[in-house]
């Protein structure tokens, strides 16, 4: 009888501590050579998977363990959030059926703000919004080293928007390789396209009129020959 009771208690304890989600970062140590970010900073994707037999509403969070002063970091789930956001909004919880996996939905970023060398150690978690104790976490390390080298290849170049923030017009300089078809799609934080620009020359300036656009954070998704080449952030503030 005692063995039966002990086994039952162990089983209950195991079930209570089991996790419904797994997290696997594409890179645990992110630097300029392996970053997958298109925003001009360091970033990677974290795969999230429901390994339980239940439907789970999933949210994500960030906890900065340590970072170089003056740098910023942020993450994306249903949208990309500002550097002051640590937990994805409840309205952005995503339903995961049993076995469902998202490979690129959870995107994490570190912006060194031109400071070098610079680093950050950040813990990211995914959790069941209906039971926050059901969560799992991973740690990602970022390092910006001024001695790192980037392969000298022909690439398309896009500056950041200026002025930024803007209340009326904002501009972006570009230089693209010959015979390339380029399109700029400007979206809000929910992914709704609000502006669409076709680039026809190999170099020049993209001019955006944001005077009738509400305050907020926007993203210019730049496609070259149909492939996403860069993403630029633009803040509208009036």
pLDDT digits (tens, 9 = 90+) for 198-236: 888 878 888 899 999 999 989 888 888 888 888 888 999
* Record: fold of 157-236: Immunoglobulin-like (2.60.40)
pLDDT at 223: 87
- Going by C-alpha positions, the residue among 41, 52, 204, 196 that lies closest to residue 136 is 52
Distance of CA 157 to the CA centre of its chain: 21
The pLDDT confidence band at residue 147, using thresholds 50, 70 and 90, is: low
> Is the per-residue pLDDT at 152 higher than 60?
no
Domain ranges of the chain: 20-144, 157-236
Task: Give me the count of residues in the chain.
Answer: 238
pLDDT at 117: 87
- In this structure, the number of other CB atoms found within 10 A of the CB of residue 185 comes to 17
Q: Do domains 20-144 and 157-236 have the same CATH topology?
A: yes
pLDDT at 17: 42
pLDDT at 18: 60
Peptide bond into 173 cis (omega under 30): no
Distance separating alpha carbons of residues 77 and 110, to the nearest angstrom = 15
Asked whether the CA dihedral 91, 96, 102, 108 is positive or negative, the reply is positive
Concatenated DSSP letters of 169-228: EEEEEEE--TT--EEEEEE-TT--EEEEEEE-SSEEEEEEE-TTSPSEEEEEEEEETTEE
Distance separating alpha carbons of residues 127 and 221, to the nearest angstrom = 29
Instruction: Report percent pLDDT > 90 for the chain.
Output: 44
Element (H, E) at 134: strand 131-144
Domain 20-144 class in CATH = mainly beta
pLDDT (tens digit per residue) in 73-126:
999 998 899 898 999 999 999 999 999 999 999 999 999 998 888 899 899 999
pLDDT at 155: 62
- Going by C-alpha positions, the residue among 66, 72, 71 that lies closest to residue 123 is 66
pLDDT at 57: 96
> Is the per-residue pLDDT at 162 higher than 70?
yes
The pLDDT confidence band at residue 66, using thresholds 50, 70 and 90, is: confident
């Amino acid at each position: 009888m005692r063995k039966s009771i002990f086994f039952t208690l162990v089983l209950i304890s195991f079930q209570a501590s089991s996790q419904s989600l797994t997290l696997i970062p594409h890179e645990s140590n992110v630097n300029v050579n392996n970053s997958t970010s298109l925003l001009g900073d360091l970033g990677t994707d974290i795969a999230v998977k429901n390994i339980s037999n239940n439907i789970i509403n999933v949210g994500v969070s960030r906890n900065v363990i340590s970072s170089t002063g003056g740098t910023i970091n942020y993450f994306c789930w249903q949208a990309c959030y500002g550097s002051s956001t640590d937990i994805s909004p409840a309205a952005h919880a995503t339903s995961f059926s049993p076995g469902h996996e998202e490979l690129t939905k959870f995107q994490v970023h570190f912006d060194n703000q031109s400071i070098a060398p610079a680093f950050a150690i950040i813990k990211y978690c995914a959790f069941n919004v209906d039971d926050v104790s059901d969560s799992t976490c991973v740690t990602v390390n970022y390092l910006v080293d001024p001695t790192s080298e980037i392969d000298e290849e022909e690439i398309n170049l896009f500056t950041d928007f200026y002025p930024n923030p803007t209340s009326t017009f904002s501009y972006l300089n570009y230089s693209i390789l010959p015979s390339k078809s380029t399109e700029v799609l400007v979206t809000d934080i929910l992914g709704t396209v609000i502006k669409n620009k076709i680039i026809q020359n190999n170099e020049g300036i993209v001019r955006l009129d944001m005077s009738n656009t509400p305050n907020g954070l926007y993203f210019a998704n730049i496609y070259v020959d149909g492939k996403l080449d860069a993403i630029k952030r633009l803040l509208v503030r009036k």
